Every structure is written in C-alpha cells, then in structure tokens.
Chains A and B, each alone.
Chain A
C-alpha cells in the first residue's frame, strides 16, 4: 500500500484522519450491503442515539489517554454518579441539585484516581483497575440485593424546572454570544477577527432572541410567564423532527457539543497544551515548567465529571439505574478511542477522532444486525477493526 507523501503527511498530522477514512469505508460497505435498511433515518438515528452516552465517556478516556494515562474505572464512575443522581432525585432533592451532586461525585472519584496516581506513582492502568472494582462495589452494596432503582417508582411525571421566559431568553442569547465570540476567531485563526466576531455574535444572538420571542408569541405566552422544562427531555429526550419511526435524541447534541468544547480546550488552551506535553514526554514537560502532576489530577477530575455527565444523560433516557450499569463499557470505549487515532502511549490524539471512532463502533453494531450477522460477531469485528486501525496509523506515522 503506497500513499503519496503528501497524503501521508496529512494523515500523520491529523489524528482523526484515519478514523474518518475507516468510517467512510464501513459506511459505504453497509450502504451497499443493506441498501434498504442501513441508509435510513431509523437506523442512523438509532446508531447516533445509542452512541451518545459512550461518546461522552469516550471524551473522558481520550483526555486521559492523551495525557498518557489510562482509565478503566469510567464505567464504575458512571454507575456511582448515576446512582447518586437518581437516588437523590427520588429522595426529593431538586433535580438540578441532584445533577450537580452526581457530577461532583464523578469529579470526586476522578480526584481519588488522580491522587492515588500521583502519590503512589503506580501506573494508572493498575490504579484504575483497582478503583474500577472498588467503585463498582459502591452501587452493589448501596442498592440492596442488586435491585434496580427506578424513577417510575417515585413519580409518574418527569422532573421539570420552571424558569421565567425572560431568563431563558437572556440565557440562550448570552450563550450564543459567548460561543460565537469564541468560535469565530478561532475558526478563522486570525488576529484582528475578534472585534468582527463579537459583532457577529451579538447579531446572531439578536436573531436567536427574535426567534424565541416569536415562538413564545405563537404559543400565546408572555415573556414573563414561567416556562416549564422537562429535564429528562433536555438531557436525552426524543427530538421531534417530524420524521415518524425515528429516534433522534437530544443526547446527540450533548455529545457533539461536549466534543466541540473539549476539542477547543485541548487545542487552544494552556491546559490542553500541557495535556499533550505531559503525555508526549512528561519529564521534558516537567523541566520546561509544566506542573505535570497537577495536569494529571485535573485531567482525572474532568474525566470523572464527564463520566458522571454521561451517566446522568443515560439515566434521563432509561429512568433507572442498576448497579451493574456501565460494566464492560470501558473496553469498548477504549477501542473506539484507539480507532479514533489516539495513541495509547499518550501525547497524540483528538476528541473528534474519538467521536468518529464511537460512531463507527455503533454503525458496526447496527449494520451487522441489518445484514443478519449474529450479534456475537460484533465484539470480534470491533477488535479486528481496532487492530487494523492501529496498523494503518502506525504505517502512516512511520513509527513502530
């Protein structure tokens, strides 16, 4: 297999490139193999919706893998945080506070991983193999008899929050301003673009406000009336796109949004730079003035928070937690991340690649069912593709 040096160069520089190519191949394969069933909204929506939660957890694994660490405990952190979230909701804690508690739990468990790593200097593979088992014991003992905690046992209605329409309006427009203000100049990669983009961002937010006001108006609401939001729906509800028989969920937006945010953090902030440096050559990073232990701890905390968020978003759909939730998730996610071009040895990778890798994994699972391959083959196929991806990436990057 000979590629032009230029193509090879681009592939070597961009971690997600290989995954992108692989994705297209698998996509083309299933489109040809199952023309009537694969390329439909029904199957695409089910692929994306089912991969949103692993996709968010994959961001957390990617972050750590780039920093040169390994996290086998994501699945367990996800389970504990989901349990904290759901049981405090069921216990009467306001829903947002319960979500916050869940995320704080995830961050706290991540902090434990990070501190253990830095204090003991044991490889993170071992540390998190240990905490994977320890953290898993928490839901197993807390929920007596391995029972499943269900939201439905507590209330028939989904939890809601009521917010004055005006606040929503301001919130949404502020968010629009901030996102665009940051995104535009970064996308353009130019110096003087800041002021222009601030203007554009303000303009865009005015448009958003206008649209929101119009839609309030058509529903006969005043901006001061309180608007009720179904929290489960916002986190992971069925999106009504007017396509019957499809299952596009709001979690897809969370997945893509978080991928964007973390891609930005990794590529454009000092912390992100320090993550790459620590994973690339931690001793060099240390002597060049980077506090590598702090970077490691911070990454584990962020990673725990992300795992918790993935868990909460999952609860919003399943409306239950069982103590074995997320078990076995870690290996499949690690495979997706590696397919996405992130190096197991650290210092190289991208969250965009992981998103593609996760989507590819999902596509494979659904596609194999559609072409009537026994579902047990799925794991084998993932493994084969992962090895193939690593071989190709290694060839492209000319390193052993």
Chain B
C-alpha cells in the first residue's frame, strides 16, 4: 500500500540553525502517529513543513505517491491537510465565527458583489463546534474574551472540521481540562476510523499509549527512533526521549552551531511532563 505521505530527506535550516536534518518518514491513512521529543527537538518545525507553513530547505514530499510542493498553507489545505498549530493561529480580536472560517470565508452574492455570509458562517461554526462537543455561548464573541482552554478547543474544532485526509495536532491538550482532553482523544480515534492520518504531538506519554499506533521520536532535529506502540513500554519511550538527549549531548553539538546550542541548552534536564 502506498503511504499517504512520504518524507524523504527533509531538512530545515533557519539561517545557521539546523532545526531538522535528513528526516525520512512514512505516514498512512487510518493511523495515528505520535511525534515525540524534547523541547526544541523539531516537532513543530516538521509539522509546519507538512502544513505548508515552512518550506523545507532540502528533501521532498510525496502525497499519495506523487511528489508535491507544499509552498503555501493553501497548498496543504487543498490536499486535505489540516493543522492545529501549537500557538493556535487565532486572531484575538476576531469573532469565533470569523476565526473558524479564516481564509475560506463563506460568501453570497448581494446584487453584483460578493459579500461575507455572516449568518451562515455563524450557524456553521456553532454547528460544527457543537457536533464535536464544544459549546460556545455566542460565535460573534471575540476570541480574546475566551479562556485559554476555550481558545484551544475552538482551534481544535476548526482543524477537525476542515481536515479531510490528514489531521495534524501540535500539543492539542496542553491547556485542556481532563474532560476536554478525553474528547480530543476521542476525535483522534474517530478520525482514524474515518481513514484519516493523524499526527499527534504531545509530551504526555500516557495519551500516546491511549491513541497512537506508532511513535516517532525526534531529537535535536533527527529522527532517533520509530516504533509500533506494542514494541515498547512507556518507560522505554521516556528513556528514548531522555537518554537520546543525554547521549547526544556530547557529540550532537557539532550539528548545531555553538550559539544555537547554548541558546538551546536550558532544555537540558527539562523533562517532558505529563
């Protein structure tokens, strides 16, 4: 079976900082892949490449077996790739409904001009959010007036609603209550049942073992482990994430400039928290 997405030798540099190097990865429809790694390992950078937010400096991407260019977020969206960004990508002073439809606003013709269909956008946003168990008081409220968890829920709801083939969730539960977290794990399972590919980034290994089929560990911009869930235990994975960091700490320096490492070194000893 051809993988849904194949990454070949993906590398990303920001100036003289190497965020990712030589990543090979295959992702299939109907599977949940957990992307793990310490802070600054390159997880967000990797998924931003898949969502068209960053252009990789090397390597290529195949989608359904064909090489594709994901030069802009629009390209990724057109392929059915939808992303929850770690920073949520919401516009604070815009209403929930406008945020929900940002970049794909619903319009109607009024006379000769195309205008925003506010009524339909509000209705569709609250319906779509309600469908996945998120109830908002009023979709005309600005996002800035919501709590952190509520904002995260809105952003997740948007990604879940629009994603058709690939759903990327970058730390989706970081601000959520236990109940909301369960719901999110629930969406991930139902997305898998709908034959979607889900890429799930989290620091919570417990969640990983609840929903993921495979796990991929990044460290300092490299893929250092890839396992089926049944092949490893939670402790082993924790050790993989941690020990890689410690072992590589000596020799891994040369991959980054001294500057970038010293900037990144406070990460050392910081534990992936649950």
Contact = CB atoms under 8 A, between A and B. Distances in A.
A344 B252 CA distance: 45
B115 A347 contact: no
A186 B142 CA distance: 21
Interface in B67-104: 72-74, 77, 83, 85, 87-94, 98, 102-104
Contacts of A287: 48, 51-53, 73, 83, 85, 89
Given A181-B111, A287-B51, A287-B53, A191 B89 contact: no
Contact of B91 (A177, A270, A272, A280): A280
B1 interface: no
Q: Give the interface centre of A194, A268, A285, A287 by most chain B CB atoms within 10 Å.
A: A287
A264 B111 CA distance: 14
A285 B53 contact: no
Interface in A247-287: 267-270, 272-273, 276-277, 280-281, 283-287
Nearest to B117: A191
A182 B115 CA distance: 9
Interface string B230-256: 000000000000000000000000000
Given A189-B119, A280-B92, A284-B90, A289 B103 contact: yes
B213 interface: no
Interface string A284-320: 1111111100000000000000000000000000000
A16 to B, nearest CB: 15
Given A273-B105, A276-B94, A289-B77, A198 B111 contact: yes
A159 interface: no
A288 B83 CA distance: 9
Interface in A329-371: 347-348
Contacts of B137: none
B179 interface: no
B110 interface: yes
Contacts of A399: 144
A379 interface: no
Q: Give the interface centre of A182, A194, A281 by most chain B CB atoms within 10 Å.
A: A281
A295 to B, nearest CB: 11
A269 B92 contact: no
Interface in A184-205: 185-186, 189-191, 194, 198, 201
Given A181-B110, A270-B116, A280 B93 contact: yes
A214 interface: no
A268 B119 CA distance: 12
Given A270-B116, A277-B94, A288 B111 contact: no
A13 interface: yes
A178 interface: yes
Given A276-B94, A289-B73, A190 B119 contact: yes
B102 A186 contact: no
A189 B119 CA distance: 8
Contacts, number: 100
A285 B102 CA distance: 7
Contacts of A284: 85, 87-91, 102
A277 B102 contact: yes
Nearest to A281: B91
Contacts of A281: 89-92
B103 A288 contact: yes
A186 B93 CA distance: 22
A242 B73 CA distance: 60
A288 B144 CA distance: 18
B215 to A, nearest CB: 25
Given A178-B111, A288-B102, A268 B116 contact: yes
A288 B98 CA distance: 12
Interface in B35-59: 48, 51-53
B116 A269 contact: yes
Contacts of B88: 284
Interface in B94-147: 94, 98, 102-105, 107, 110-116, 118-120, 142, 144
B73 A288 contact: yes
A288 B77 CA distance: 9
A177 to B, nearest CB: 8
A270 B93 contact: no
A288 B85 CA distance: 10
A186 B119 contact: no
Nearest to A273: B105
A348 B102 contact: no
Contacts of A286: 53, 73
Contacts of A268: 115-116, 118
Nearest to B111: A181
B104 A289 contact: yes
Contacts of B72: 289, 291
A277 B93 CA distance: 9
Contact of A289 (B74, B91, B98): B74
Q: Give the interface centre of B98, B104, B110, B120 by most chain A CB atoms within 10 Å.
A: B110
Nearest to B158: A288
Interface in A171-187: 177-178, 181-182, 185-186
Interface of B: 48, 51-53, 72-74, 77, 83, 85, 87-94, 98, 102-105, 107, 110-116, 118-120, 142, 144
Given A178-B112, A347-B93, 5 more contacts: A186-B115, A189-B118, A285-B91, A285-B102, A291-B72
Interface of A: 13, 177-178, 181-182, 185-186, 189-191, 194, 198, 201, 267-270, 272-273, 276-277, 280-281, 283-291, 347-348, 399
18 contacts: A186-B110, A268-B115, A272-B116, A281-B89, A281-B90, A284-B89, A284-B90, A287-B52, A287-B83, A287-B85, A288-B73, A288-B103, A289-B74, A289-B103, A289-B104, A290-B103, A347-B93, A348-B93
